């Protein structure tokens, strides 16, 4: 049997739309629209805008929603506007009252939004999302038990740990909030969308920029020049292309090609200075805009760095330029094995608790993340109202100053204590290893941000927009985490309620591994539980 509808019957006039129906409340955009604190987030923009001057802005709810859609779907600025234009649920999420065919705003507005937000504004948006998660009970910090309540018998401790009561204890009503929660700290790098910076390629690119600047000066003031300044651009480009085509480049070939590009770039810079001096002498305005002046300054600094490293046969220099268009980017060592030991982008210091992460420090220069541990602890207290009960981090964080800081405030640490190793029982070693293994959660958060939400390839250009992009990525990850947590909680409550109505109850003794539910006064093994669950539904 063959089914086929002729093309003449597939017309726009005959296409039926489901717009007379209601939207599904189970859709992810509908659920997330109820979780975002829109009014509080809109106030962040109020400090960046004037209330009585300028033309009327686009609805701030639409702007905020479009930013979230962009990072959740990992779309470009143009594709985000098109996605909202095509998706009725996305239009509900951004706050439109009805479906519309026209685009919500022009894609170039995203750039201005990121400029206005910057690092501080985007960080405030993420803090508001974290506070909203606390109000929705998606973050439930619990207090660590006191030493008096710890069991002396290792076997008893194992049973309590299996039941889930030894690690955390709820805070009673009327008690002052003490140290609660576990804080995970780690740092990563957000690579920029730039080509891999080799010295020869950078010099060749700088030479081409110098030739463009030279041509711009010559064409704008032809009456001052007898003839066009002579350059060797064809020979220089031919030499670079022949070198770049080699599959196996020896160190001798690399040094020779680098020296050639240095010698081609040096006379171009001298000619540019002479042309600028002549324009100043005749009191003519230079036709360069700010972008051309900035490129001129960058290629001069690039030549100085490369000439110094070439002369001294060095491979390192302070504030090394790895991109002419983004000269603020710096090479940052990963400190891990693998194919790439260096990344080019901002370093991000992240703190995470209960699966909710925030970027505390973002800097294009490499920094020692251990120096920011007290600042992150105080930021945790300012956000939640209390100190964390436990801090887990890499070995680099456990300096003597940080150990003393945590000790003075009674905060536990997950690092190895100083001095000779203590003799621990097998259970104590297992407990410490299991506690320290929780540090992998923040690494999983980095993997999620890089593999799915674009932290591994940042397309924005300006420093303030890059920092805003990073904070917005963590904002969307937190929103998705809250949505998933609440959805799982609703399913759990629904399942428990259905099970209780069907005659199943939760046992009082939760220490046994092989049983989980009771029915008719007898223990039910896990295999029977699966079958009972199927019968319940």
The CATH number that applies at residue 357 is 3.30.420.10
Tokens encoding 102: 């026209």
| CB atoms closer than 10 angstroms to residue 237 | 15
Q: Are 140 and 354 in contact (CB under 8 A)?
A: yes
491 with 458, same domain: the answer is: no
Residue 14 within any structural domain of the chain: no
63 with 111, same domain: the answer is: yes
106 with 184, same domain: the answer is: no
Given a cut of 50, the residues of the chain with pLDDT beneath it are: 146-176, 500-501, 503-537
- Please name which of 360, 478, 459 lies closest in space to residue 72, comparing C-alpha atoms: 478
What residue numbers bound the domain in which 500 lies?
A: 485-536
Residue by residue, DSSP assigns 124-157 as HHHHHHHHHHHHTTS----BPPPGGGS-SSHHHH
Quote the CA–CA distance of 370 and 393 in Å, as a whole number: 9
Residue by residue, DSSP assigns 424-457 as --HHHHHHHHHHHGGGHHHHHHHHHHHHHSSTTS
Tokens encoding 36: 């975002």
* Cβ burial 281-313 (10 Å sphere, 16+ → b, else e): eeeeebebeeebeebbebbbebbebbbebbeee
Cβ contacts of residue 488 below 8 Å, gap of 6+?
none
Task: Phi first, then psi: give them for residue 351, nearest 5 degrees.
Answer: -120, 145
| The predicted structure's pLDDT at residue 150 | 42
477 with 495, same domain: the answer is: no
Starting from the edge strand earliest in sequence, which strands make up the sheet with 390-392, in order?
A: 356-363, 347-353, 182-189, 390-392, 412-413
- Please name which of 86, 88, 38 lies closest in space to residue 63, comparing C-alpha atoms: 38
CA dist 511 → 7, 152, 320, 515 (Å) = 66, 17, 59, 9
Residue 327 within any structural domain of the chain: no
Q: What 3-state DSSP class applies to 232?
A: coil
| The predicted structure's pLDDT at residue 521 | 40
449 with 497, same domain: the answer is: no
Question: Mind listing the pLDDT tens digit for each residue in 366-400?
Answer: 999 999 999 999 999 999 989 999 999 998 999 99
Domain boundary among 481, 506, 528: 481
| The predicted structure's pLDDT at residue 274 | 93
Burial of residue 86 (number of CB atoms within 10 Å: 0-12, 13-18, 19+): exposed
340 with 469, same domain: the answer is: yes
Residue 13 within any structural domain of the chain: no
178 with 52, same domain: the answer is: no
| Residue located via tokens 């010698």 | 263
Quote the CA–CA distance of 67 and 94 in Å, as a whole number: 9
At 161, which helix (H) or strand (E)? Answer: helix 154-163
Tokens encoding 181: 């929660």
Tokens encoding 127: 């803090």
Tokens encoding 77: 């600025």
Tell me the pTM. 0.82
Q: 347 pairs with which residues across the strands?
A: 189, 363
505 with 367, same domain: the answer is: no
358 with 476, same domain: the answer is: yes
Q: Are 349 and 376 in contact (CB under 8 A)?
A: yes
Residue 76 within any structural domain of the chain: yes
CA angle 92, 29, 480 (to 5 degrees): 145
| The predicted structure's pLDDT at residue 336 | 66
Q: Are 128 and 37 in contact (CB under 8 A)?
A: yes
Quote the CA–CA distance of 218 and 207 in Å, as a whole number: 17
Quote the CA–CA distance of 81 and 93 in Å, as a whole number: 13
| The predicted structure's pLDDT at residue 304 | 96
CA-based torsion, 32, 34, 39, 40: positive or negative: negative
Residue 490 within any structural domain of the chain: yes
368 with 463, same domain: the answer is: yes
| The predicted structure's pLDDT at residue 294 | 95
At 50, which helix (H) or strand (E)? Answer: none
Residue 152 within any structural domain of the chain: no
471 with 491, same domain: the answer is: no
Quote the CA–CA distance of 471 and 468 in Å, as a whole number: 5
Residue 387 within any structural domain of the chain: yes
35 with 120, same domain: the answer is: yes
Q: Are 55 and 95 in contact (CB under 8 A)?
A: no
Quote the CA–CA distance of 264 and 258 in Å, as a whole number: 10
CA dist 309 → 183, 249, 306, 317 (Å) = 43, 19, 5, 7
Quote the CA–CA distance of 473 and 122 in Å, as a whole number: 10
Residue 318 within any structural domain of the chain: no
| Structural domain total, the chain | 4
At 292, which helix (H) or strand (E)? Answer: helix 290-312
| Residue located via tokens 């996605």 | 83
CA dist 506 → 409, 509, 515 (Å) = 39, 9, 10
């Amino acid at each position: 049997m063959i089914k086929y509808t002729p093309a003449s019957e597939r017309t726009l006039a005959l296409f039926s739309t489901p717009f007379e129906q209601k939207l599904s409340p189970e859709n992810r955009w509908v659920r997330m629209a109820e979780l975002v604190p829109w009014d509080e987030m809109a106030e962040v923009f109020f400090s960046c805008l004037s209330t009585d001057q300028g033309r009327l802005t686009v609805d701030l709810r639409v702007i905020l929603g479009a930013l979230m859609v962009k990072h959740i779907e990992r779309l470009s600025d143009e594709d985000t506007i098109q996605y909202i234009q095509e998706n009725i649920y996305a239009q509900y999420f951004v706050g439109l009252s009805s479906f519309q065919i026209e685009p919500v705003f022009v894609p170039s507005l995203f750039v201005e939004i990121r400029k206005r937000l910057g690092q501080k504004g985007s960080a405030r948006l993420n803090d508001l999302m974290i506070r909203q998660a606390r109000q929705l009970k998606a973050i439930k910090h619990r207090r660590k038990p006191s030493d008096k309540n710890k069991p002396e018998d290792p076997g008893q401790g194992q049973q309590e740990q299996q039941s889930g009561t030894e690690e955390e204890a709820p805070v009673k009503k009327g008690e002052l909030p003490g140290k609660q929660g576990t804080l995970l700290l780690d740092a990563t790098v957000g690579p920029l969308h730039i080509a891999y910076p080799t010295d020869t390629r950078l010099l060749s690119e700088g030479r081409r920029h110098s030739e463009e600047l030279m041509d711009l000066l010559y064409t704008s003031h032809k009456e001052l020049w007898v003839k066009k300044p002579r350059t060797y651009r064809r020979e220089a480009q031919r030499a670079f292309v022949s070198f770049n085509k080699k599959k196996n480049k020896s160190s001798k070939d690399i040094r020779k090609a680098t020296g050639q590009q240095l010698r081609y770039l040096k006379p171009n810079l001298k000619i540019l200075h002479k042309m600028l001096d002549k324009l100043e002498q005749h009191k003519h305005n230079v036709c360069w805009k700010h972008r051309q002046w900035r490129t001129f300054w960058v290629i001069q600094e690039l030549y100085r760095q490369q000439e110094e490293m070439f002369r001294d046969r060095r491979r390192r220099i302070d504030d090394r330029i790895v991109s002419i268009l983004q000269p603020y980017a710096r090479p940052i060592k990963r400190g891990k094995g693998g194919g790439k030991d260096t990344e080019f982008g901002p370093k991000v210091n992240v703190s995470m608790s209960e699966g909710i992460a925030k970027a505390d420090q973002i800097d294009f220069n490499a920094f020692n993340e251990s120096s920011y541990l007290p600042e992150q602890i105080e930021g945790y207290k300012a956000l939640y109202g209390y100190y964390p009960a436990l801090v887990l981090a890499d070995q680099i964080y456990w300096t003597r100053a940080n150990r003393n800081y945590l000790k003075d405030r009674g905060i536990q640490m997950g690092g190895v204590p100083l001095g000779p190793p203590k003799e621990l029982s097998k259970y104590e070693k297992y407990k410490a290893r299991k506690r320290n293994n929780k540090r992998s959660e923040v690494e999983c958060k980095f993997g999620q941000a890089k593999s799915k939400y674009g932290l591994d390839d940042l397309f924005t250009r300006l420093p303030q927009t890059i920092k805003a992009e990073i904070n917005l990525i963590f904002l969307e990850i937190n929103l998705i985490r809250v949505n998933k947590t609440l959805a799982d909680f609703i399913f759990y409550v629904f399942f428990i309620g259905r099970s209780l109505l069907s005659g199943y109850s939760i046992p009082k003794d939760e220490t046994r591994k092989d049983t989980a539910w009771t029915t008719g006064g007898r223990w039910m093994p896990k295999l029977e539980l699966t079958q009972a669950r199927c019968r319940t539904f």
